[in-house]
Structure 1
């Protein structure tokens, strides 16, 4: 196996607190001796699980990086039982450019796994996570939003993995995020996902979709941060008392899923998109969900997008300006009680 070119001063076996960078050789300015530097920190104390806590997989998703940066500066070493690896912006070129893809190579990190040590900078980072980080950890927490393109009702989500014990661990950790919905989703946009790579190694994987768009309400930041803190307590890497939704005076988390291709509705043509329903709303089959309007043909009737079935509008298009093929709605459905039994 080709060795990674990434270098760091972090000693992943060393106790205590360490701050450093992951350094990738990359000549992108006037100097041939340049490197891309990605901040990383570790806190390790005593026995317990090792948790990788990361965000910025896509660069235009900011509640996760903020939550991690706040957490890594406020935690005290004595609060930890085990090890936490913090990477607040794994795709820092994209985060600095507010783009989903890396501006350095045009790659989507979340479609580059298992990576390539001799590839582009994004492929090198995927390879490093696959070969150097994932094997060291028990849990991978990968914080997302819908980015600028999609607005989600804030939720924690997961894949329905085949291993039932792994599935149970993931479901219980997902519930600990205390979001209104817990979302099972399908991979409709290709292979090479970071969570799948970690799942295939047997890791407990927790992911989120915390809203999206340019504006992040304070409530979404609070949910991202409080949920993350509670998950770390649930995992027993952080000391404290885990809180349930009942403790918070909230109704139980509602498990939903979008596992069929028909649950994802795309724009049949370009236009201006108006959503008729808010995310989180229950909708009925045939109900108009939104309309596409046409700047150059104001005389045309809008193209109406209807719900193909009963369900929950868990996500919809973010920007109003829409191109043919853009996602307009994701329609979710309540999870079968028999599947829910496998989470217990």
Structure 2
């Protein structure tokens, strides 16, 4: 019989008991402490169906919940393959809290090798949130992620890369709003912790998608709108299976878990360099359908007036010459020939 309830031994045992993680329930299934479970979530309409693969990691200690999505665009392969590796590199026996990871949000885009949109309903999942439970295939997928992953998260990460035609630099990004300073600052620290050389600010002040009755459109815009610190990864280019980009995606998630104290450890990211912050981006669109010839590559610093490429018709006649509209970092440039009127050709970031 223990008579002295203030003894160090009793306090230690009591502390361990109170910190022990309870079972977590997802899709009506129990995930016990220190384990992970895989789910294939069916999504059906009257005309078609799809699946959403999800892995839930339940740690050994109570904590927060991190939601992660990969494959919102199914041809962005580097983060999708990184998510496959994270199935094993996130150890629930060394985890505090819960991680809910969507392996491939847009399965039909992935299987159909379809950039940007699902081949089933031609909708862009990355422009469909919060979705519609009675809508099309893509709208139902967005609704499921919104209600079952985003709504359960304390922090949220959406993993992207350059889609099939996009030569894109690597960066972390966070959502910011002057009316949400605390949440914005947590997101900023999360984005910096990812370990990229550049961090982009998604300033949402005055944006229509932040209004209560407007669609959020973007996955992380939906989570941020709900008061959840929200960040993006952009790592990879042109839908290429580059090992360096896959590893960087994987390590960035581990860095984030360490930063948020989901796991204990020392990050492999550089501690000597602070990332440049990109708060302003300049977009240049094509004025014509045709063929684009890029003269530069993503990651180059350009000067105002510098030629970046040109658009021709189908007979080689130049229709539009594209010049840098300001000094800055060339974040994105279309690297494949086909171009449609109104599509983005280049993005220049102003760094600080």
- Which residue number in structure 1 is paired with residue 131 of structure 2? 115
Change (3 A) 1:267 1:164: same
What's the CA shift for 1:126?
1.7
> Size of the alignment, in residue pairs?
316
Q: TM-score, normalised by structure 1?
A: 0.84
* Distance in 2 of aligned mates of 1:152 and 1:216: 14
Counterpart check, 1:71 vs 2:93:
no
- Which residue number in structure 2 is paired with residue 226 of structure 1? 251
- Larger proportion of strand: 2
* Distance in 2 of aligned mates of 1:334 and 1:189: 26
**2:72 maps to which of 40, 53, 57:** 57
- Which residue number in structure 2 is paired with residue 276 of structure 1? 295
Change (3 A) 1:144 1:164: same
- Which residue number in structure 1 is paired with residue 6 of structure 2? none
Deviations 1:158-208, CA, capped at 9 Å, x for gaps:
232331111111111111111121122468998511111100111121212
- Which residue number in structure 1 is paired with residue 277 of structure 2? 255
- Which residue number in structure 1 is paired with residue 50 of structure 2? 36
Change (3 A) 1:214 1:67: closer
98-107 or 9-18: which moved more? 9-18
What's the CA shift for 1:264?
0.6
* Distance in 2 of aligned mates of 1:16 and 1:301: 59
**Any stretches of 5+ residues in structure 1 without a counterpart?**
1-6, 30-34, 336-344
| Aligned residues of 1:48 and 1:237 also touching (Cα < 8 A) | yes
Change (3 A) 1:332 1:11: same
Counterpart check, 1:285 vs 2:285:
no
- Which residue number in structure 2 is paired with residue 32 of structure 1? none
- Which residue number in structure 2 is paired with residue 124 of structure 1? 140
Deviations 1:304-336, CA, capped at 9 Å, x for gaps:
21111112111111312222222110011024x
- Which residue number in structure 1 is paired with residue 226 of structure 2? 201
Change (3 A) 1:186 1:97: farther
**Any stretches of 5+ residues in structure 2 without a counterpart?**
1-25, 210-215
What's the CA shift for 1:12?
7.0
300-309 or 58-67: which moved more? 300-309
Aligned-CA RMSD value? 2.4
- Which residue number in structure 1 is paired with residue 101 of structure 2? 86
Counterpart check, 1:145 vs 2:164:
no
* Distance in 1 of aligned mates of 2:134 and 2:279: 38
**1:160 maps to which of 153, 176, 185:** 176
| Aligned residues of 2:34 and 2:93 also touching (Cα < 8 A) | no
Deviations 1:82-127, CA, capped at 9 Å, x for gaps:
1111211011111111212122222211222222111112212222
Q: TM-score, normalised by structure 2?
A: 0.82
Counterpart check, 1:192 vs 2:217:
yes
* Distance in 1 of aligned mates of 2:67 and 2:320: 45
* Distance in 2 of aligned mates of 1:144 and 1:214: 10
- Which residue number in structure 2 is paired with residue 95 of structure 1? 110
Change (3 A) 1:203 1:185: closer
| Aligned residues of 1:289 and 1:306 also touching (Cα < 8 A) | yes
Q: Which structure has the larger Rg? A: 2
Counterpart check, 1:213 vs 2:227:
no
- Which residue number in structure 2 is paired with residue 173 of structure 1? 190
Change (3 A) 1:240 1:84: same
